[in-house]
Amino acid sequence: MITNKNSALLEARRAVKLRKPGFKVQKSNDPKKRFAGRWKRPKGLQSKMREGRKGNPSGVEPGYGSPTAIRGATQEGLLPVVIRNVNELAAVKDGFGVVISAKVGLKRRAEIAREASVRSLKVINASLEGLTKMIADLMDARKVRRQKLAQKRASRRGGIAKQEKPKKAADDIEGKLDEEEKKRIEKSEKDKVLTKAQ
């Protein structure tokens, strides 16, 4: 829940962040040292950055920090609460936002997002529409993958697919029966010819 006091603090934090530099490790532009994107305090005895000399990168100082009342809050002023299952949603109150844990699978993630929307809670790191679309895409991809696997297995067996096997076996049986019938007829004709000759 955003109060007037919190909204003023959020504005103050935005103003601080506008003038906040990107903190870097000393000599992070050195190609041998790949330190870009993180901060480490300079400890060198003759370090100009440690001394805070002009023309050197800024160091981390308390003045750049956010107000303690809203530290860690989102832009809307919601404090995040990590949720691992649907039962934990009961403890979430106004002024808090739901963050679904990274360890939660896609199915349970969708359940948590659905339940949060029913309880009118804000989910910070997921949306219900996005999750349903992602699940549909994954199911389609799984179908395609299974079809490809079935084709691959069929090609390994010599081009005989699972559905074609029973038909082919039935055709073979009919063919064998026809051949046997032909042999019987030929044999009976030969027997007739032989009996007439005697």
Q: What is the pLDDT of residues 118-148, one digit of tens each?
A: 999 999 988 888 888 888 888 899 999 999 9
Tell me if 116 sits within 8 A of 109, measured CB to CB.
no
Tell me if 39 sits within 8 A of 28, measured CB to CB.
no
pLDDT over 60 at 168, yes or no: no
- Tokens representing 195? 């009996």
Tell me if 49 sits within 8 A of 57, measured CB to CB.
yes
Which residues are CB-contacts of 12 (< 8 A; sequence separation ≥ 6)? 67
**Closest Cα partner for 79 from 101, 99, 100, 97?**
97
User: What radius of gyration do the chain's Cα atoms show?
Assistant: 37
Q: Which pTM was predicted? A: 0.57
